[in-house]
A = this chain, B = another copy of it.
């Protein structure tokens, strides 16, 4: 069965594929480049869950395929959990990782080191054409550092060190990152549900 991964972010698409492939779930994963183009839906949700569902539903509606989408972000304690759902557009436009990360560093410049707690959060949604919908979650606690380090990953990875680690998420290998990441947690939980639903469909 084909399952659509509904993201327009090439690096995130790679991560979703990699994580789902590693679970061994028996589906053909297709990206937005593999289906007829459809317009982007504004992420009007105020929670990760809402936005993940908005994107998954838009994929189902446009393609008729079961669709996986996630909404993820970084929550910074002294910013009251922001950037949160605004992580990808924190600097005011979508997807400028460098500007977003520099802005957060500027905002917390005067904040003492001991108050730089942060976490990566992910909500992943799976929607089926018949209306079944599932949501899973992932959460990776850690802290911000003042200067970006590392070349892997994307988004805020270079300024985030997970609890128990000394390297930033961008200094981890893909396998190391997937093993702990918010997206890894949420997508593995979603892969289990996907497997169960496929088994049911095959009954």
Contacts and interface: CB of A to CB of B under 8 A. Distances in A.
A189 B160 CA distance: 43
Interface string A15-58: 00000000000000000000000000011101000000000000
Contacts of A89: 106-107, 109-110
Interface stretch (A61-69, A75-83, A174-182, A195-203): A75-83
Interface string A85-97: 0100111110000
A107 B86 contact: yes
A149 interface: no
11 contacts: A46-B111, A46-B115, A79-B86, A80-B80, A80-B82, A86-B107, A91-B103, A92-B103, A92-B107, A92-B109, A103-B103
